[in-house]
Amino acid sequence: MPHFNLFSKRNSELPDIYVYDKLSHKLKIQIFHIWSKFFRQQNIREDFSNRIFEEIDEILCEEHGLKKLWHPPFNGGLYISGAIYSSEEKIEKFIEGTPEIEKQLDAIELLFYFIENIYEVNKNFHGIYNQLLYAPQQAIEDLNHRFKENGVGYEFSNGKIIRVDTQLLHNEIIRPALNLLNNNLFKNANDEYLSAHEHYRHQRNKECLNDCLKSFETTMKIICEKNSWSYDKKKDTASKLISICIENGLVPEYLSNFLVSVRTILETGIPTVRNKNSGHGQGIDRIIVPDFLASFLLYLTGTCIIFLIEADKNK
């Protein structure tokens, strides 16, 4: 849908710094309007939409250990009697009322996962009459626009909500890396890279570093498999895989000096940072991986993945 540059927007500045610990009431309402407009299109049957909301309701209850996603308010120790709440209304109340932003984002992520995959879901239910006028990708773009407009540092990408730190770096590194990984050939590397983002969003920074290295190594293994280059699937680590890629001319000969430099960056970058901070036992002292280090590694991993895949494509 078009984004209107209203008077109030034109006369106020967008936030310079992203927030990560709160979704404003305004943003929640804006997100509600997006999913409401999407699921209430004339081409989508109402019973089909309701079935999706019921499934999201069940998933959230099971994953968070809840008997019910939302209860009506108490009045004198008793629930207020009245209308029966639909699953969509309970999801809406859950997003509005639960205090943990992680749980709010869980619900939003599930809603837009089903929006993104609506045609796949439809194969089992036949609930869509014709091609949708309000397309899934447009709804996702609208969600990300609202996140950015409200200064909230998250974005829905490849079926998951990921954390955004610096918009320029995100646009130049994270998005291109995910786009390159988003095909069946690189599915395992894509899953590991998205898992690293998920750990980072929840500040599980040691797990983030581990999955960054997994994704980096998996990307090289896939390239080796694709080109029938011999390597040890169980024993070869990042350093050995880098050597194999260089030996097999992953880039033109005239870039050999450059690749040696890149190799040094890779060998002393992703593997070393990971090994020194999360790859081995902690010993007596507890190892703390700060956010800035996990953020750096995410961008470094994304840059290296882009380099490797593009080099293979243009080899």
**Calpha distance 91→56 (Å, rounded):** 8
- pLDDT tens string, the chain, 315 residues long: the values are 556 666 555 555 544 457 888 999 999 999 999 999 999 999 999 999 999 999 999 999 999 999 989 877 654 444 455 557 899 999 999 999 999 999 999 999 999 999 999 999 998 888 888 889 999 999 999 999 999 888 898 999 889 998 887 666 777 778 888 888 888 899 999 999 989 888 887 778 888 888 888 888 899 999 999 999 999 988 888 878 888 888 898 876 676 666 566 556 555 555 566 556 555 555 555 556 777 888 888 888 888 889 889 999 887
User: Does the CA dihedral 170-172-177-178 come out positive or negative?
Assistant: positive
**Calpha distance 238→259 (Å, rounded):** 15
Given 3-state DSSP classes, what are the helix, strand and coil percentages for the chain, each rounded to the nearest 5? Answer: 65, 5, 30
154 DSSP β-pair partners: 163
pTM over 0.75: no
Q: Where are the domains of the chain?
A: 13-164, 178-313
Tokens of 274: 């990971």
**Calpha distance 3→14 (Å, rounded):** 15
